[in-house]
Every structure is written in C-alpha cells, then in structure tokens.
Amino acid sequence: MKQKFIEFMRGRYGTDELNQLMSIVSLVFIIPTFITKQSLFVVLGYMLIGYTLFRMLSKDIPARARERAAFLQLKNKILRKNNATKQKIEQRKDYKFYRCPNCKKELRVPKKKGKVRITCPHCKTNFEKKT
Ligand SMILES: [Zn+2]
C-alpha cells in the first residue's frame, strides 16, 4: 500500500507552505459551518481543499514552484512590514517620525530636542520640525 502511494506520488508536486496554509484556512472555513449552517464558507472551504489537492497532485512542478515563490515573497513582505511597525511602536517613546517633503521617505528624529533642522539622508533635502 505504502509502495503504491509512493509510486502514485512520483513526479507529482507534493506539498509546501502554501498548501499547508490553504488546508488550515479551508478548515477554518468549513468547521464553523457545522454549527452555523452557512453554505458560502463551506463552498469556499471545499474550493480551497480542491485547489490544495490539485497542487499536491500536479505534475507541473515549475508552475507550482513559481506559486510557492510568489507566496513566500508575499509572506516575507507582510512579516517585514509587521516587524517595522512593531519596531516603530517600541521607538515612539524616544523618537518622532517624519516624512521627507521631497522623497517621502520616513525619517526618525530624537524626541524633545526642540526645533531641529533635519537633513534627509536619501535626497539631502533640509526641513525644520519641532521634536
Ligand atoms: Zn528625502
């Protein structure tokens, strides 16, 4: 039986992080519908399971690998943005954050220094702010 399964999966994509996430999300969609009897989420859940199975059994490995790469890129982008926001919240006690009027990059300036002249390190624009 195990050998037959191994034989069946040969040349197929298998699973990855995207499939794992879609499996969890599909369960999140399906399980509450046993109580609420909402059919919309059940349909979404089964569609996700269907797509997960399609990806697992797919023999077009390069296409699945591209989907995985796009998923990981998006995931990393979200995690990086989350980290940056978290860091900014932690630093809010000691720093003020301004946007450069020219290039719109965010700049960090120490708090309670009075009126300061800020030079943007990216485009060298000068502007004054009270910290
Ligand atoms: Zn600038």
**pTM (predicted TM-score):** 0.66
What residues are paired with 127 via a beta bridge?
118
What pLDDT score does 51 carry? 97
The domain segmentation of the chain, as residue ranges, is 2-91, 93-131
Q: 75 C-alpha vs ligand 1 centroid, how far in Å? A: 28
Q: Which amino acid is at 64?
A: R
**Average pLDDT over every residue of 10-29:** 95
Distance CA 30, CA 34 (A): 7
Q: 118 C-alpha vs ligand 1 centroid, how far in Å? A: 10
Q: 126 C-alpha vs ligand 1 centroid, how far in Å? A: 8
- The model's pLDDT over 119-131, given as tens digits with 9 standing for 90+, comes to 999 999 999 999 8
Residues, the chain: 131
Q: 110 C-alpha vs ligand 1 centroid, how far in Å? A: 18
- The model's pLDDT over 88-97, given as tens digits with 9 standing for 90+, comes to 999 999 999 9
Which residue is associated with the tokens 């708090």?
A: 111
Backbone angles phi, psi at 74, to 5 degrees: -65, -45
What pLDDT score does 39 carry? 82
| Token output for 8 | 């069946």
What residues are paired with 98 via a beta bridge?
107
Q: 119 C-alpha vs ligand 1 centroid, how far in Å? A: 8
| Token output for 10 | 């040969």
Band of residue 34 on the pLDDT scale cut at 50, 70, 90? confident
